[in-house]
Structure 1
Amino acid sequence: MSAYAYIRVSTKEQNTDRQHEALKDYTKQNKINIKAIFEDRATGKNFERSQYQLLKETVKSGDSIVIKELDRLGRNFMDTPKELQYFFERGIKVIILDTPLINTGDDKLDYTINNMLIGFLSYIADKEREKIQSRVKEGLVNAKAKGVKLGRPERELPKDFEKYYKKWKANDITAVEFAKLLGVSRATLYRYIKEYE
């Protein structure tokens, strides 16, 4: 029997310290040795995460998985209970530190109660994800309305580009000559033309 931990944040910029601290406290208090920690930096809306999939391949019957919060496992209220069901059916216990009532691997009555709780909490996590997406969209719309330029900054075109562009458009010079005059490859030239147009 081995214990494993799973940690997830949605973006590369987010910090996992809080989850690591909670895990350290739990293992110290319960004298549990964590064999490996699987850590993803990916959205919680689906389960196609490399480390999570590796965790699923690693755990065996009798093992435990420790997670700080249910939404670290997933934010999809339809699929999260299915994932917990997967572990329950294989005799793998899932310990969610912020919700100690949920422990797959207990007897059937506990499992039924826990499943209802999981469904409810997963629904809340899913709604929270939707709210975050909505706030991000609103922020982008507001930024655009205020004239904030989004995305990568525009590349500056080479000196004399406009002058040679007009000649090229008038068929006075070829694309090859145009590129040579600017000192760039044809691929780069066409990228500049696309940006300019």
Structure 2
Amino acid sequence: MKIFAYIRVSTKEQNTDRQHEALREYEGTNKIKFNAVFEDKASGKDFDRPQYKVLKEIIKPGDILVIKELDRLGRNFMDTPKELQYFFERNIKVKILDTPLIDTGDDKLDYTINNMLIGFLSYIADKEREKIQSRVKEGLKAAKDNGVKLGRPERTIPDNFEKYYKRWKIKEITAIEFAKLLGISRSTLYRYIKEYDI
């Protein structure tokens, strides 16, 4: 039997110290040493993560997978229970440190209870993500309602555009020369011309 641990944060800027500390404490309390600790800095919305894929290739029936919190494994209500089902069906125990699973000693009962608990926790994790997304949308709407312009700033036609435009219009200068005089690309020039001609 081997014991593996998995750590995940969503971005490179986020810190993994809290998860590492919880895993070290688990090792000390249980007088064990992890065979390997896998770590990803990637979103939890799906399971397309480099180290997680390696973990799934290595872990075998009878092994144990330890994670600090359920949402470190995944934050997707639909897929997280399926992922846990994958481990349970292969007789791989998943231990969530912040939510110790009930251990009755009866494998069938444990399997049922664990599935129910995992489904419930996955639902909560997904609802939390929806709540964050909803707050972001509300914030953007409030900003828009208050006159804040969102997205890329609008490009304004240069002040000296009209002077060179008139020369270009009577074929005194070419489009290439026109663009060079403004210090812009030809594609930008034609966009400005289109805007100006409206």
Shorter-normalised TM range: 0.7 to 0.9
Q: Secondary structure at the match of 2:48?
A: coil
Worse-superposed segment, 3-12 or 80-89: 3-12
Q: Distance in 1 between matches of 2:189 and 2:102?
A: 57
Q: Name the residue aligned to 2:135.
A: 135
Q: Distance in 2 between matches of 1:149 and 1:142?
A: 11
Q: Distance in 2 between matches of 1:3 and 1:171?
A: 79
Q: Name the residue aligned to 1:176.
A: 176
Q: Name the residue aligned to 1:84.
A: 84
Q: Name the residue aligned to 2:42.
A: 42
Q: Name the residue aligned to 2:67.
A: 67
What is the CA-CA distance between 1:67 and the residue it aligns to?
Answer: 0.5
What is the CA-CA distance between 1:41 and the residue it aligns to?
Answer: 2.5
Q: Distance in 1 between matches of 2:114 and 2:159?
A: 67
Q: Are 2:8 and 2:41, in contact at CA under 8 Å, matched by a contact in 1?
A: yes
Taking the TM superposition and a 5 Å limit, the aligned residue runs for 1:15-34 are 15-34=15-34
1:190 aligns with 2:192: no
Relative to 1, partners in 2 of residues 1:91 and 1:195: Cα closer, same or farther, differing over 3 Å? farther
Taking the TM superposition and a 5 Å limit, the aligned residue runs for 1:145-184 are 145-151=145-151, 160=160, 163-164=163-164, 167-168=167-168, 170=169, 172=171, 173-183=173-183
Q: Distance in 2 between matches of 1:34 and 1:166?
A: 75
Q: Secondary structure at the match of 2:20?
A: helix
Relative to 1, partners in 2 of residues 1:157 and 1:84: Cα closer, same or farther, differing over 3 Å? same
TM-score normalised according to structure 2 size: 0.79
Q: Distance in 2 between matches of 1:120 and 1:12?
A: 29
Taking only aligned residues, the RMSD between alpha carbons, in angstroms, comes to 2.9
Q: Are 1:96 and 1:102, in contact at CA under 8 Å, matched by a contact in 2?
A: no
Q: Name the residue aligned to 2:7.
A: 7
Q: Tell me which structure has the larger Cα radius of gyration.
A: 2
Q: Distance in 1 between matches of 2:148 and 2:94?
A: 45
Instruction: Name the count of aligned residue pairs.
Output: 191
What is the CA-CA distance between 1:143 and the residue it aligns to?
Answer: 2.3
Listed one character per residue, the Cα deviations across residues 87-139 of structure 1 (whole Å, up to 9, x for unaligned) are 11222221110111167xx7121111111111111111111111111011111
TM-score normalised according to structure 1 size: 0.80
Q: Secondary structure at the match of 1:98?
A: coil
Q: Distance in 2 between matches of 1:97 and 1:56?
A: 20
Q: Distance in 1 between matches of 2:91 and 2:120?
A: 23
Report the identity percentage.
74
